[in-house]
Amino acid sequence: MKNIHLDLYKGMIKEIIYNIEEINEYGLSCFLYGLYSLIDKKKKELLLL
């Protein structure tokens, strides 16, 4: 259950690469912001261990 976000983002990245021509800038920026937040959260968890 811990990796559900990671698996979700992996699937979304695959879809973005597949449909890159159909994605607008706003949607892509929102996705990248969420991905950055997820990475930042994981880094904080690793530092606390």
Domain boundary assignment for the chain: 4-48
Q: What is the pLDDT of residue 1?
A: 44
Model confidence over 1-49: pLDDT tens digits? Answer: 456 677 777 887 888 888 877 778 888 888 888 888 888 888 887 787 7
The whole model's pTM is what? 0.54
Q: Which structure tokens are listed for 5?
A: 């976000």
Burial of 16 (0-12, 13-18, 19+ CB in 10 A): middle
Q: What is the pLDDT of residue 11?
A: 83
End-to-end CA separation in angstroms for the chain: 19
Q: What is the pLDDT of residue 35?
A: 81
At a CB cut-off of 8 Å and minimum separation 6, what does 37 contact?
Answer: none
